[in-house]
Amino acid sequence: MKEHEIRQNKATREWVIYAPTRGRRPSDFRQTDKGREERPERDEHCPFCPGNKNMLPGIIMAMPSTGEEAWQTRVVPNKFPALATDGDTERVERGIYLTMPGYGRHEVIVESKWHNRGIAQMSNAEVEIIIETYHKRYVDLMKEHENMLTLLFRNHGVRAGTSLVHPHSQLIVTGFVPNHVRWREEQAQRYYDEWGRCVFCEILQFEQREQRRVVFENPSFLAFVPFAAEVPFEIWMMPKEHDADFGDINDVEKRDLAQAFSNVLTKLFEKLNDPDYNYIINTAARYKADEPQLHWYVQIRPRLTTRAGFEIGSGISINPSIPEHDAEFLTEDS
């Protein structure tokens, strides 16, 4: 690759500037100034820890276990929700502006009883329970007519927006489809209308064939640094089977997705010293799930750089790290 290059994201048609002269080698992104915090198995002040049920606003569902605390994962209401279950989705004109009630849901998935065990430290079987919890809650929520989008995500670390260190993910349900999601769907629709093919399937097949950016593969999923990654060590985990809806995954795919999560997040943990990151399950909005142009996938974005003035003003990302180098670094033997 030349010293400077601009690449296009095939799925969104967005451009990304690569400026390696501004950056460092992949190994230099390792968080050397970040000590791994030693945490106890249980924290008496943490609402998600065993024995602290009275600190929770309620329990929506739990995946069972054995022993005194007979649960492996829990889903609980967010104590400070972005949206609330009361109200509706009726739009109201206010002068020249538009508003509607803050209808939706905001829930927390407590991923483990153990205060100090993140996904990178869990067994595949434990991660499978997390995926099963995601899936059950997603399917239940998307049965409700008002729910247009269920977004599952994880914020890991302070730079990623987390406030509690106990391993957990979140989901937010909206009664409308955000423009960002619609825009991504529309780009996929345009590509399908022009070429008659799913753009995500094309990306998947090319990455699987070329192997230059692949970091993990199993029978159901391919994990790779995208060709036009917006940030260093961005990773997409994409199902090989074409499907628009996360809710459609079967038991084999759940097992393979758990393996992919475990492998990829362990690589990030070990190679970059537990970086802060966000991951999001990008899935189809309601009524789009059966359309041929959409393909759900997981997007992992480590928080290793900060957006500055040009990026905010232009909407164009500047990535100081080369995707091929990132993939090579994550897959090389330690």
pLDDT (tens digit per residue) in 178-212: 999 999 999 999 999 999 999 999 999 999 999 99
Q: Which residue has the higher pLDDT, 63 or 34?
A: 63
Tens digits of per-residue pLDDT, 25-48?
A: 676 677 666 655 678 888 999 999
Predicted confidence band of residue 165 (pLDDT cuts 50, 70, 90): very high
Question: Where does residue 161 fall: left (phi above 0), alpha (psi -120 to 50 degrees), or beta otherwise?
Answer: left
Q: Dihedral of CA 74/80/86/89: which sign? A: negative
Whole-number pLDDT of residue 96 = 97
Q: Cα–Cα–Cα angle for 131, 170, 29, nearest 5°? A: 85
Asked if residue 176 has pLDDT above 70, the reply is yes
Whole-number pLDDT of residue 2 = 60
Give residue limits of the domains in the chain.
Answer: 8-30+53-331
Q: Which CATH superfamily is domain 8-30+53-331 in?
A: HIT-like (3.30.428.10)
Rounded percentage of the chain residues whose pLDDT exceeds 90: 80
Whole-number pLDDT of residue 37 = 67
Asked if residue 58 has pLDDT above 90, the reply is yes
* pTM for the whole structure: 0.93
- Alpha-carbon distance of 221 to 215, in angstroms, equals 11
Whole-number pLDDT of residue 38 = 78
CB burial of residue 128 (10 Å; 0-12, 13-18, 19+) = buried
Segment among 59-63, 94-98, 144-148, 239-243 with least mean pLDDT: 144-148
Whole-number pLDDT of residue 241 = 96
For the chain, the average pLDDT equals 92
